[in-house]
Amino acid sequence: MLQEPSEGQEKRKELFVESNSENYIHQVEYNCEKGENAPKILMIHGFGASGCVFYKMIKYLMAEFRVTTIDLLGMGCSGRPPYSLTTAQESIDFFLLSIEAWMQAVRYKTSEYILLGHSLGGYLAANYAIKYP
């Protein structure tokens, strides 16, 4: 059974990726047992899910890493901005730009994170690493 993080272990945040109140990304950060200098993992979920899909892994990862999960726009606890895109590339760019805006908002560099994704999240993580090396 997953243990709940102890007090001070977890921080929930919602960060606006644009001035529009519908464009916010929900994130949950888990502190590492090794402290602030531990490597960081950004976990990106698959289509129609949320960062909660990683819940069974987090307690194990927290032993070595600072873990952050995000909910992609339109999914989980993130905002639901209007979506009228019609091509696959427009959709990919929509998610990549929102992830980059989140990275800018938290002032992290891509090189500070190990990107980990499941399903659509894996595809987006690979595309993100190519676009923002």
Q: What is the pLDDT of residues 28-74, one digit of tens each?
A: 888 888 988 999 999 999 999 999 999 999 989 999 999 999 999 99
- Domain assignment of residue 73, given as a range: 10-131
What single letter denotes the amino acid at residue 85? Answer: L
85-117 pLDDT per residue, tens: 999 999 999 999 999 988 888 887 777 889 999
| DSSP 8-state secondary structure symbol assigned to residue 96 | H
77 within a domain of the structure (yes/no):
yes
2 within a domain of the structure (yes/no):
no
Do the Cβ atoms of 15 and 106 come closer than 8 Å? Answer: yes
Using DSSP's 3-state secondary structure scheme, residue 76 falls into: coil
The CATH number assigned to the domain holding 25 equals 3.40.50.1820
Using DSSP's 3-state secondary structure scheme, residue 113 falls into: strand
42 within a domain of the structure (yes/no):
yes
3 within a domain of the structure (yes/no):
no
pLDDT bin (cut points 50, 70, 90) of residue 20 is low
Closest CA to 73 of 48, 90, 55: 48
pTM of the model: 0.85
Highest mean pLDDT, choosing among 1-10, 23-32, 56-65: 56-65
The per-residue pLDDT for 130 is: 94
Quote the distance between the C-alpha of residue 126 and its chain's center.
Answer: 14
The per-residue pLDDT for 96 is: 96
Taking the C-alpha atoms of residue 119 and residue 117, their distance in angstroms, rounded to an integer, is: 7
